[in-house]
């Protein structure tokens, strides 16, 4: 696999604060890397250094093997970048703005119109092509930023919170666009929306306080969740005690927790001894005791919980 984005030991300080403290990463072609982390974790700062906007105190970054700080002009021609908030020149129309970008990107003559048309088509900008950008809705403004980044069909795409503030339909559209392009490019997106990672990212990195605290696929991350593989079930409240007794007796159950008591039912969660436990096993156990189960499922672990657990260790620890 060809590594298209590489960062080695990036560090950046703002005064006393270490915004980024030794981040290294490699993104091969075909991978969509999700940057996760709470606000202020250093996601944007890392992206600004990879794109050469911000000079790191230490470390290096390269795009397709071209060092961003040694040959900035060449490196910058190899990626498309959507900065946070997708800024664009508000007094221009999408058509004139994208034509300007095309010209800066080195296209001339008929190529300009052709490139603009292609990226407008991809980003779905036709209806507002000649409207002043300042008057556009947030969703369209975001698409202008996106169209600008993909205009030259770069091998690398870097997007800082591309779906922030969009409605669910618009989010879906942007994610679809990213997924379409994923196979031929290396893409980094930052987000604090975890469903996005599941939806589009083939790998995720969690950043906290300027350091990488987790790295893996969305599944890998969920494996780290305390409840991963636990079986949750809902039984009628007056049979709850019986159910707890039955489950606690089972050989591969460590303990049983009560989660809540909504509407005359009891929510239980059986924590397995090994990481995995078959739902069928639990069901059979309860059926043998004649305890009716209303609902039963295996916890995959929600990314939200994983996120909290990783980025706020004290809080997550107390939860478990």
From the list 8, 92, 113, 293, which residue makes contact with other proteins (rule: CB under 8 A)?
A: 92
Nearer to other proteins, 69 or 202 (CB): 69
Strands 253-260 and 265-272: antiparallel
Mask for 138-157, x = binds other proteins (CB under 8 A): ----------x---------
Residue 234 in tokens: 């809902």
11 binds other proteins (CB under 8 A): no
103 binds other proteins (CB under 8 A): yes
Residue 100 in tokens: 């300007």
**Are 188 and 157 spatial neighbours (Cβ–Cβ below 8 Å)?**
yes
73 binds other proteins (CB under 8 A): yes
Compute the distance between CA of residue 215 and CA of residue 219 in angstroms, rounded to an integer. 11
72 binds other proteins (CB under 8 A): yes
96 binds other proteins (CB under 8 A): yes
Mask for 118-137, x = binds other proteins (CB under 8 A): --------------x-----
Biggest CA–CA distance in the chain, Å, is: 79
Name the one range near other proteins by CB under 8 A: 75-83, 121-129, 257-265, 286-294.
Answer: 75-83
Nearer to other proteins, 47 or 246 (CB): 47
From the list 9, 85, 155, 316, which residue makes contact with other proteins (rule: CB under 8 A)?
A: 85
292 binds other proteins (CB under 8 A): no
Smallest gap from Cβ 136 to other proteins, in A, equals 14
From the list 57, 100, 117, 192, which residue makes contact with other proteins (rule: CB under 8 A)?
A: 100
165 binds other proteins (CB under 8 A): no
Smallest gap from Cβ 11 to other proteins, in A, equals 15
Nearer to other proteins, 15 or 127 (CB): 15
Of the candidates 306, 49, 32, 72, the one whose C-alpha atom is nearest the C-alpha of residue 162 is 32
From the list 17, 104, 237, 284, which residue makes contact with other proteins (rule: CB under 8 A)?
A: 104
Nearer to other proteins, 30 or 85 (CB): 85
101 binds other proteins (CB under 8 A): yes
- Residues in contact with other proteins by the rule CB under 8 A: 48, 51-54, 72-74, 76-77, 81, 83-85, 87-92, 96, 100-101, 103-106, 132, 148
């Amino acid at each position: 696999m060809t590594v298209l984005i590489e960062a080695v030991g990036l560090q950046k300080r703002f005064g006393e604060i270490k915004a980024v403290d030794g981040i290294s990463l490699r993104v091969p072609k075909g991978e969509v890397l999700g940057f996760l982390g709470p606000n202020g974790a250093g996601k944007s700062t890392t992206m600004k250094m990879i794109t050469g906007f911000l000079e790191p105190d230490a470390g290096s970054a390269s795009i397709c093997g071209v060092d961003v700080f040694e040959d900035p002009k060449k490196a910058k021609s190899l990626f498309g970048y959507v900065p946070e908030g997708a800024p664009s020149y508000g007094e221009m129309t999408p058509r004139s703005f994208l034509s300007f970008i095309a010209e800066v990107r080195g296209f001339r003559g008929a190529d300009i119109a052709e490139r603009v048309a292609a990226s407008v088509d991809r980003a779905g900008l036709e209806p507002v092509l000649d409207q002043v950008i300042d008057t556009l809705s947030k969703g369209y403004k975001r698409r202008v930023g996106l169209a600008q980044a993909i205009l030259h069909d770069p091998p690398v795409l870097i997007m800082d919170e591309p779906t922030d503030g969009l409605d669910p339909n618009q989010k879906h559209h942007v994610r679809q666009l990213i997924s379409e392009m994923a196979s031929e490019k290396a893409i980094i997106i930052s987000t604090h929306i975890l469903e996005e990672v599941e939806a589009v990212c083939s790998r995720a990195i969690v950043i906290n306080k300027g350091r990488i605290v987790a790295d893996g696929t969305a599944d890998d991350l969920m494996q780290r969740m305390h409840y991963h593989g636990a079986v949750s079930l809902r039984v009628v409240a007056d049979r709850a005690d019986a159910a707890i007794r039955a489950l606690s007796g089972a050989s591969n159950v460590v303990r049983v927790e009560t989660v809540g008591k909504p509407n005359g039912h009891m929510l239980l969660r059986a924590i397995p001894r090994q990481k995995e436990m078959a739902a069928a096993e639990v069901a059979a156990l309860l059926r043998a005791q004649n305890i009716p189960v209303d609902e039963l499922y295996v916890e995959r672990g929600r990314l939200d919980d994983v996120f909290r657990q990783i980025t706020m260790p004290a809080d997550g620890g107390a939860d478990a």
